[in-house]
Chain A
């Protein structure tokens, strides 16, 4: 069974940093592209970032470019999102998502709240 389990969310002050992790199991992690997608309270889905299967290629939404860094450790079957210079606009549920044909598996999400 495919499982994606996010962790690392929490309350952080504006300007602070947080690192999200996503533990993958039930599939060959190193064969798949991975993404982070977020959803602010009461709002829609927003794509955040992508990493290819070996970590050599990454892409970012304009809203997080230069502040967020996506990475992966295929030996540990884990995806990461390093988030710096956080602002209230980054408050959201962050989902770890696998993709091949569409975003086919989603984690349950981890909540990030940016507030003083």
Chain B
């Protein structure tokens, strides 16, 4: 049950696009289409942004999109806005457990 690998931080200017990668193995990310992404503000509970690799729950802006290739999943935020500055975590089902990434801090310049 090793944590998925995410960059510690990414940044972009308002209106730009940023992409966060989430690298695992064939036992988790590569083996199942059960990757999800969460947004967390300081001191708050996480919020589901993407589930099943690329599906957006109701109410999540379509600026957020997810994809997967092999053992790496990605979250892209298009048209970056100030309120997108937060921590983002990926998560994957791993057969007998679930595993999170270490988290990525998104900074809006």
A binding-site residues for B, Cβ under 8 Å: 35, 37, 44-47, 50, 59-63, 95, 101-104, 106-109
Contacts and interface: CB of A to CB of B under 8 A. Distances in A.
B99 A103 contact: no
Interface of A: prevailing SS: strand
Which of A35, A45, A103 is packed against the most chain B CB atoms within 10 Å? A45
Interface of B: 1, 3, 36, 38, 40, 45-48, 50-52, 55, 57, 89, 91, 96-103
B42 to A, nearest CB: 10
B52 A59 contact: no
A103 B38 contact: yes
Given A61-B1, A102-B52, A44 B101 contact: yes
Contacts of B96: 59
